[in-house]
Amino acid sequence: MSKQTIQQVKQRFSIIGVSSELERAIDTALQVAPTDLSVLITGESGVGKENFPKIIHLYSRRKHGPYFAVNCGSIPEGTIDSELFGHEKGSFTGATASRKGYFESSDNGTLFLDEVAELPLSTQARLLRVLETGEFIKVGSSKVEKSNVRVVAATNMNMIQAVEKGKFREDLYYRLNSVPIRIPPLRDRKEDILLLFRKFAGDCAEQYMMPPITLTEEAKEMLKSYRWPGNIRQLKNITEQISVIEQERIITPELMKRYLPEQEVGMLPVLASHIHESEGKTFANEREILYQVLFDMKKDLNDLKQVVKDILTDGVDKRTAVKAEALMEESLSDHKSFRLPVAYNEKFLKTPFPTHEEKEKEDVQEAAEYVEEIMSLQEMEREMIIKALERHDGKRKQAAIDLNISERTLYRKIKEYKLENL
């Protein structure tokens, strides 16, 4: 598509940005719109994925047909089949009348399935059948229905990992992924950050009839270098907060620091050697990865200690033992959280290995310390959930979006941490 067409799309859908990746995503959406191919839109939470199904629908031959957007993560597992495919009267408790599902209602139109990775496996099988044959069966019925629907799906999860772990059907993934569109995160669109900031600041100033805020050069650089785990949504929230709270209209780095949290959702510590495992996961999964990494590191350390012990027991000379210990330290250098003291080698050689009773006592102490560490991470998670709920006045849907997790996960965490009264 021409630059002029892409610019018209940006204006029509209020998309701000000049980055090449963003324009490539818009161009792909325009190219695939006239076809009936399924589209899978991927990208982190808050990058603006919801605009692209609308672009595809309004530039397709189905633009005069119905358009429905369904958030699969917000529908309870027990009712998701009824919502998507409909049900017959009396098919379950509370089904007092027959009901059309989204696939029937969006016939000859477009159906946008947001957070598609949250679908239960049983529903995924039914969705695959609709995509391949256009046929579905209502809950409580035996009659085969037909629907001519164009499906556009979106997710913020790493779908390859979800398939590998058995959480998402491989055949459905490839069926949905006929045309992939990736929306880049804000940290990869540094040239767009200041444009978006000016837009949000201007909108807020106009809405509340106040002078717009501006940034010093240092504050601009700080804004561009921040990681933005919440992407455009987080930038908009911070811009509005500064506009409303600060009396000073020229924002310096000192003022900006108050609004850029050092620890934010999606920024919990994960060791560098395992960062690739956590891509596309929620902070709860990052915590689990961190625990596993620490356990693996402790096991490696114990194995290497045993190697050195065997060397010393066999009567190897001191120089060889020191060399072996140095190799052990080198082997652990990849694990950044371990640093051996300078005089460790000499001390290690002079210190006898612990007795069985001493070793048991040491293991108990290490276990207690580890439990304390786990509890501190759980407390951090609990505090993040409390702050998100407070920021959104207890509105769980908005809090879930802010935390980059599904509503279903948030409800489970609220129950786990006994936060039902918030």
Domain borders along the chain are 3-184, 188-257, 283-416
Q: Which of 349, 263, 364 is nearest to 311 (CA)?
A: 349
| pLDDT value at 146 more than 90 | yes
193-207, 358-372, 386-400: the lowest-pLDDT one? 358-372
| pLDDT value at 1 more than 80 | no
Q: Running DSSP on this structure, what letter comes out for residue 116?
A: G
pLDDT, mean over the chain: 82
Q: Binning pLDDT at 50, 70 and 90, where does residue 344 land?
A: very low
Give the tens place of pLDDT for each residue, 30-79: 999 999 999 999 999 999 999 999 999 999 999 999 999 999 999 998 89
Report pLDDT for 313.
Answer: 58
Report pLDDT for 397.
Answer: 84
pTM listed for this prediction: 0.63
Within 10 A of 141 (CB to CB), how many other CB atoms are there?
16
| pLDDT value at 340 more than 50 | no
Contacts of 349 (CB under 8 A, 6+ apart): 312, 318, 321, 322
User: In this structure, what token pair is assigned to residue 224?
Assistant: 């561009």
**Per-position DSSP letters for 182-247, written without gaps between them:** EPPPGGG-HHHHHHHHHHHHHHHHHHHT-PPPEE-HHHHHHHHHS--TTHHHHHHHHHHHHHHH-S
Give the tens place of pLDDT for each residue, 276-286: 444 444 444 55
The residue-averaged pLDDT of 333-345 equals 44
Kindly indicate whether the domain formed by 188-257 is annotated with CATH number 3.30.360.10.
no
| pLDDT value at 194 more than 90 | yes
CATH node for 3-184: 3.40.50.300
On the question of a common fold for 3-184 and 188-257, the answer reads no
Give the tens place of pLDDT for each residue, 263-317: 554 444 433 334 344 444 444 455 555 556 666 666 666 666 666 566 555 555 5
Phi/psi class of residue 86: alpha, beta or left (left: φ > 0; alpha: ψ in -120 to 50)? Answer: left
Q: Which residues pair with 181 in a beta bridge?
A: 41
Torsion angle in degrees (nearest 10) through CA of 370, 372, 373, 376 = 160
Q: Which residues pair with 136 in a beta bridge?
A: 145
- The 10 Å CB-count burial string (b at 16+, else e) for 316-334 is eeeeebeebbeebeeebee
